[in-house]
Structure 1
Amino acid sequence: MMKVSYFIFLLVLLTTYTVIDAFDRGDIILQHNFDGPDEEAIWKKFLNPLIQLVTTDRGDQALRIERNLPNSPSASISIPLPALALCGYKIRIQANIKAANISIPPNSWNGIKIMLHTKELSGDNYPQQNLPRGTFDWRTADYIASIPRDTQQANLVLGLEAVTGTVWFDDVKVIVYSKLRPPPPSPPPGLPFKGHNLTRLRGAMIGTNLKEQDFRDFGSWNANHIRWQLMWNGFPHSPADNGDISAYEIWLESALKHLDSMLPVCRELGMHILIDLHTPPGGRNDEKECNLFKEKRFQDTFISLWEKIARRYKNESIIWGYDLVNEPVEGIVPDDVMDWQQLATVTIEHIRAIDSEHAIIIEAAPWGGPGALADFEPLPFSKIIYSFHMYEPGTFTHQSVYDDIPPVSYPGIIDGKMWNKDQLRVNMKRVLDWQHDYNVHIYVGEFSAIRWAPGDSAYAYLRDVIDIFEENNWDWAYHAFREWPGWSVEHIGDKNNTQYSPIPTDRQNLLMNWFTQNEH
């Protein structure tokens, strides 16, 4: 494995970027085309038989990385970025890549690496663009990644991980994509708007096909809130991905009719509803980015559907609010399409022309996590509530959801860091600080831990995060009630047992104990 130390590489690559107090959109942070004597001088000290500068079939030079033996260490180079200067920015990472005979990766995150690795006080992150296996000619990798505000180190990793084959990199570039949000003004006085007069909303997101008895069962737990997901046959991918707006509108109307049919029982049970657009128009692309940020026609549909929902429910008191889009991911936004900040602003203007009272809930891009919210610039409206989803560390909460991995326990060492209640507080402190900066209300729209986490790890994690939510007076919704068995608190920890437990699990009792405090 070729691993270059941060400090040595920083000296060698000093001429490739300039650390300044503030960056503008389009500023080049790092750039390598591997051509000419200057590039050769930079790279020659770090080459070995598996990592070489070579002449390509196009006549220029590129960085070639090979990995021939399946059990050999990963072959990669780690290029440092000016992390402290970039905290709070989004960057655009680009490279031309060619590959030959890349083997099947053992996990979805393995393979060709053009990956940002950030080390933060709140944990490590590894955003990357997944690339195909096999053989392919020159193609462009191009994606957006965030540098969280508490980042201590940031590195761009190029190479091969857990696969064999050969990859060539050329024209590697890191560019500033968006600037820091401005410093917060003096927060407005008074209590922040919550959209309800209860001490707390405590409940869960629900499955898409629940019947009246399911709501009565959940009501018997004394829940006072449901996050009603408008989801079209799956997440993150769905039939919406094919871009058929007519089919999307037919599905949406059927989903709203189901909501309409359950409003009477929700009113009776005092369960306040948040309408969550889980599947936006256009769905998502292969990189799981919302096509909402790729084509204007999807944005037009998005605005009109929220006008429709606002007209439909503006006088419905059991509706708490509107969650405009679940876990937005922008990617690279074309010039003729609005980014999330702009689209949310325009959409809220249209909603407020119809419904001036219901709360509007905003999740930050990308993916609605704590770090995304901490970097988000609040919108210029009142009666807005800001939401984040808590699944960190994902190695624990999502273990063996997508790929089989060895069991991961909480509390414990996860991804090289001790994760316990104190670390969870550190992780969520950036949300708390942001909340205090702007005097807004926070809603935790999703949180969970997979039920087959070893021992009582899932219970311990849920106990600790809920304690922190309650300390901070945040409303919250567990993910999820009668949706997918992996997240179900009504199932025991055996992954292969898909039957409801005959007695409440410790996780179900945990939720029910908190729900005893609910008002309606």
Structure 2
Amino acid sequence: MTILFKNAVFIFLLPVTLLVSCKEPTERPTEKKVSGPVAWKTYRGVNIGCNIEEDDVADLAISGANLMRLSMPMCTLMNLEPPYALQQNAFQKLDSVLYWAEKHQLSVLIDPHRYPGTKHQWTMLGNDPFWQDFKWHNILIRFWSELAERYADRGNVIAGYDLLNEPEIPIDLKKGSPRDVGLLYAKLTKAIREKDSVHTIVYALPRVYDSVTKKMMGYHKGINLIEIPQDDNRCIETHTYFPKEFTHQNIWEPGDPIPYPSTLNNVEWNKTQLEREQQQLIEFSKDHPNTPILVGEFSCPRWTGEDGLEYLKDVIDIAEKYGWSWAYHSYREASVWDAEMSITDRNDSLRTTNAPRWKLLKDYFKKNDGVR
């Protein structure tokens, strides 16, 4: 999930509507074994929450999507309080989603999203206890070691392991400290590879902030500040929520609509600027053609109408231009982003298969025919 910065104050976006189900499933996953690496392929899909049920998965499969990034902050896989035990009901839900995905020929990117030592449900903060003490890292290492052992033998129904959601680091990052995301990634990679040598490890790029000016930079800016492990089966993840003035407009309170394209703070925001904003990641992608890139989240409020459609199209077209995978945020999780609802009336929550935003996404999902 993403955050909005308003007058240098952190404001967090919570789902408008979210129903969570962590009940024990009635169906159990199959146990298909694998004998070699599960290579990352080109994915075009969506983010989902643990409120998802099989009917939703079946409908998504019909749409042509081939990936579900399963985020579980509302149904955490690990208890956030001592003794930090694994949550069996949450793992049962994960097992059910894997079963449904396998049945309907979709892949799942496992995104636990939240861990002990983090304060907010939807994102990581630079002042989280998690970044102050290595003890939180050790808890996470144990968690991923156990998860990797549990799912090492599952086939390509698992697209990969998404280690962190939106880590946040200072621009003057001190290497070797608890804030060193690259060091944490190296430790997590070692622990996972001792148990699972086949599934892709996804490394999320961090938001970068200047503690003096309070300026926050996008995730793609972090590519040159951390050391990404040189794993043979890795993927780099970024999120695209810029300009925030457009992507998060009028969510909490009414206001004048902000168009796209538009000029904001003396910057002309259009497709050219969206591409320019990601230049560091684009250069990395060119220099590392064997390392896939995932735009793990991107969106804007559904009531932004035709402007919202143009924005989404521009974000996707840039990803397609460079051969990146992408996952729209989000599918049947929160009304604000729901692509199957009206693109003009925020009070109209009726889902239709021919909603303009959903039709746009399905047109791009058609590209999955050759890779599913």
Larger % of helix: which? 2
Work out the CA distance in 2 between the residues paired with 1:217 and 1:294: 43
Shift of 1:403: 4.8
Are positions 1:425 and 2:263 aligned together? Answer: no
Quote how far apart the aligned CAs of 1:323 are. 0.6
C-alpha distance after superposition, 1:357-379 (max 9, x if no partner): 11100012227722223543332
Letter in 2 for 1:281: P
> 1:463 corresponds to which residue?
313
Residue 415 (structure 1) shift: 2.8
Give the CA RMSD over aligned residues. 2.9
TM-score between the two structures when normalised by the length of structure 2: 0.79
Retained in 2: the 8 A contact 1:408–1:414?
no
Give the C-alpha shift of residue 488 in structure 1: 0.9
Cα offset, 1:329, TM superposition: 1.8
CA deviation string 1:135-188 (max 9, x = no partner):
xxxxxxxxxxxxxxxxxxxxxxxxxxxxxxxxxxxxxxxxxxxxxxxxxxxxxx
Deviation at 1:447, TM superposition (A): 0.9
User: How far apart are residue 392 of structure 1 and its match?
Assistant: 1.2
What is the rounded CA distance, in whole Å, between the counterparts of 1:409 and 1:270 in structure 2?
A: 38
**Matched residues in 2 for 1:495 and 1:465: separation?**
23
Tell me the distance in 2 between the aligned counterparts of 1:434 and 1:321: 21
Q: For the Cα contact (< 8 Å) 2:75–2:90, is it kept in 1?
A: no
1:445 alignment partner AA: G
Distance change >3 Å, CA 359–CA 494, structure 1 → 2: same
For residue 360 of structure 1, what is the aligned residue in structure 2? 201
Distance in 1, matches of 2:285 and 2:67, equals: 22
Please say if residues 485 and 498 of structure 1, whose CA atoms lie closer than 8 Å, have aligned partners that are also in contact. no
- CA spacing shift, 1:463–1:311, aligned 2, 3 Å: same
Q: 2:189 aligns with which of 348, 355, 358?
A: 348
When normalised by structure 1's length, the TM-score is 0.58
Alpha-carbon distance, 1:339 to partner: 2.1
**Match among 302, 313, 316 for residue 451 of structure 1:** 302
Give the aligned partner of residue 100 of structure 2. Answer: 265
Matched, 1:407 2:254: no
Counterpart in the other structure of 1:274:
109
Q: SS at the partner of 2:367?
A: coil
The structure whose residues are more often strand, as a share, is 1
User: Which residue does 1:54 correspond to in 2?
Assistant: none
> Of 158, 161, 167, which residue of structure 2 is paired with 1:328?
167
The Cα of 1:293 is off from its aligned counterpart by 1.2
Paired residue secondary structure (2:196): coil
After superposition, what is the alpha-carbon deviation per residue over 1:408-463, rounded to whole angstroms, capped at 9, x for unaligned?
1111222322111111221222211022233421111111111122x411100011
Distance 1:502 1:265 in 2: 23
Could you tell me whether the CA contact under 8 Å between 1:293 and 1:340 is conserved in 2? no
Aligned AA (1:307):
S
Q: Please say if residues 145 and 192 of structure 2, whose CA atoms lie closer than 8 Å, have aligned partners that are also in contact.
A: yes
User: Structure 1, residues 1-41: CA drift from partner, whole Å, max 9, x if none?
Assistant: xxxxxxxxxxxxxxxxxxxxxxxxxxxxxxxxxxxxxxxxx
Distance 1:380 1:263 in 2: 28
Letter in 2 for 1:311: E
1:288 is aligned to 2:114 = no
Instruction: Find the structure with the greater CA-based Rg.
Output: 1
Which residue does the alignment assign to 2:61?
219
Change (3 A) 1:503 1:218: closer
Pick 1 or 2: higher relative contact order, CA cutoff 8 A, min separation 6: 2
Q: Residues 369 and 402 of structure 1: is their aligned pair in 2 closer, same or farther, counting only changes over 3 Å?
A: farther
Q: Residue 196 of structure 1 corresponds to which residue in structure 2?
A: 39
More deviation, 269-278/326-335: 326-335
Shift of 1:232: 2.7
The one-letter amino acid paired with 1:271 is: L
Residue 334 of structure 2 corresponds to which residue in structure 1? 484
CA distance in 1, matches of 2:221, 2:152: 32
Aligned pairs for 1:64-79 (under 5 A) are none
Tell me the matched-pair count: 325
Show the 5 A alignment for 1:105-504. Answer: 109-110=6-7, 128=8, 196=39, 198=41, 200-232=42-74, 244-246=81-83, 249-250=85-86, 252-284=87-119, 288-289=125-126, 290-317=128-155, 318-330=157-169, 337=178, 339-366=180-207, 369-439=219-289, 440-453=291-304, 455-494=305-344, 496-504=346-354
For residues 315 and 326 of structure 2, the distance between their equivalents in structure 1, rounded to whole angstroms, comes to: 10
Unaligned stretches of 5+ residues in structure 1: 1-106, 111-127, 132-193
Q: Secondary structure at the match of 1:378?
A: coil
Q: How does 1:503-514 map to 2 (within 5 A)?
A: 503-514=353-364
Instruction: Kindly state the Cα deviation for residue 296 of structure 1 after the two structures are TM-superposed.
Output: 2.8
Question: In the alignment, which residue of structure 1 is the partner of 2:33?
Answer: none
Q: Report the more deviating stretch, 382-391 or 493-502.
A: 493-502
Contact conserved, 2:303 with 2:344, CA < 8 A, in 1? Answer: yes
> Is the contact between residue 207 and residue 221 of structure 2 (CA under 8 Å) also seen in structure 1?
no
> Aligned equivalents of 2:176 and 2:202: distance in 1?
26
| Compared CA separation, residues 513 and 280, structure 1 to 2 (3 A) | same
What SS class does the counterpart of residue 236 from structure 2 fall into? strand
